[in-house]
């Protein structure tokens, strides 16, 4: 791996996220380069180029339904970077959804990346998200 910028953010503690709520990103596990930063609920990429985004969100649901996680760039959903699952057993069924795709940062742009729960409310037990500049 020959990356210019990389940030690995985690949320290893439990938290609840309502429908249409932003999934918290609590701390940096690894980082290369100051051109990528962690906010309370976002990762900001400052450098022009392509970034690979990959990670997982592990959770249970307080009520059965479809859980959906999507990646947003500057508040807008990124086409193709969404994941969902139908959860039939409330409170006990542990589900892990993957998030993966490529995001482009244009010249003169700062990209603020967030994970948003667009499905039923979820009770998160772990979040791991890597944003890596690949080109």
**Encoded tokens for 107:** 């010249």
Query: Residue 130: which residues within 8 A CB-CB, separation 6 or more?
Result: 6, 7, 8, 9, 52, 53, 54, 55
Q: List the chain pLDDT tens, one digit each, 135 residues.
A: 456 799 999 999 999 999 999 999 999 999 998 889 999 899 999 999 999 999 999 999 999 999 999 999 999 999 999 999 999 999 999 999 999 999 999 999 999 999 999 999 999 999 999 999 999
Task: Please name the residue that has the structure tokens 């980082």.
Answer: 31
In a domain? residue 1: no
* CATH number of the domain that residue 101 is part of: 2.60.120.40
Q: Identify whether 79 is part of a domain.
A: yes
Residues of the domain holding 50: 6-133
Q: How many domains in the chain?
A: 1
- Residue 27 belongs to a domain: yes
Distance of CA 40 to the CA centre of its chain: 12
């Amino acid at each position: 791996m020959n990356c210019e910028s990389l940030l690995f953010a985690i949320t290893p503690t439990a938290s609840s996220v309502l429908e249409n709520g932003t999934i918290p990103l609590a701390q940096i596990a690894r980082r290369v380069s100051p051109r990528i930063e962690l906010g309370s609920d976002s990762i900001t990429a400052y450098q022009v180029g392509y970034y690979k985004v990959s990670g997982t969100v592990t959770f249970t649901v307080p009520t059965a339904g479809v859980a959906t996680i999507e990646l947003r760039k500057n508040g807008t959903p990124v086409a193709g970077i969404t994941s969902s699952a139908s959860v039939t057993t409330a409170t006990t069924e542990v589900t892990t959804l993957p998030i993966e795709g490529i995001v482009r940062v244009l010249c003169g742009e700062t990209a603020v990346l967030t994970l948003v729960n667009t499905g039923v409310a979820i009770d998160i037990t772990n979040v791991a998200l890597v944003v890596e500049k690949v080109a």
